[in-house]
Amino acid sequence: MNPYPPPGRCPVCAGDLAVTRLDCANCATRIEGRFDGGRLGRLDRDQLAFVEVFLRNRGVIKDVEVDLGLSYPTIRSRLDEVVRVLGHGSEERRAPKGVVVSRREHRRQILQELRDRTIAPDEAARRLALLDADSDGDGAAIVPRPATEASR
């Protein structure tokens, strides 16, 4: 018997699934309860396969590119998605708020937030329009600081 891997998310609402029963294939012992599948249990089949290739290549993206026949941006995108699903956001990799970044980098950050679903499509469109309208030719943008309690 070739068991199917368990899904990481509910197919109806995309919520987390809980493992509630374990069966021994040898003696038929059954254990029921609520068991934690761990963070890797959140990954779907394709994401797990990607992680296996990534680990087999010891994280060397060039080697992952060769193994999968995919481009660097595609590999990075898949890696970012795995990191996000595992609960490690990419916020720490972004420029700190209030820091001057290139317009290109700012545009990339907006699009990444849209892909990560941390902003709605209409908010992304609004920010991109502001970025384009605010162009003064210097090639830089200021990522605004979040409001603090003192400044409200």
pLDDT in tens, 43-96: 888 899 999 999 999 999 899 999 999 988 888 889 988 998 888 865 444 445
Cβ-based neighbours of 115, under 8 Å, separated by 6 or more? 77
Spatial separation of the C-alpha atoms in residues 61 and 80, rounded to whole Å: 13
**Could you state, in order of their start, the residue ranges of all structural domains in the chain?**
42-89, 92-147
Give the pairing type, strands 100-102 and 30-35: unpaired
Could you tell me the pLDDT band of residue 134, with boundaries at 50, 70 and 90?
low
Q: What's the average model confidence in pLDDT over 108-126? A: 85
Could you tell me the pLDDT band of residue 150, with boundaries at 50, 70 and 90?
very low
Spatial separation of the C-alpha atoms in residues 28 and 76, rounded to whole Å: 43
15 touches 50 (CB < 8 A): no
DSSP conformation letters of 12-56: TT-PBP-EEEEE-TTT--EEEEEE---GGGGS-HHHHHHHHHHHH
Spatial separation of the C-alpha atoms in residues 55 and 53, rounded to whole Å: 5
Q: Is the pTM of this model over 0.85?
A: no
Spatial separation of the C-alpha atoms in residues 15 and 8, rounded to whole Å: 9
Spatial separation of the C-alpha atoms in residues 55 and 63, rounded to whole Å: 11
Spatial separation of the C-alpha atoms in residues 106 and 95, rounded to whole Å: 9
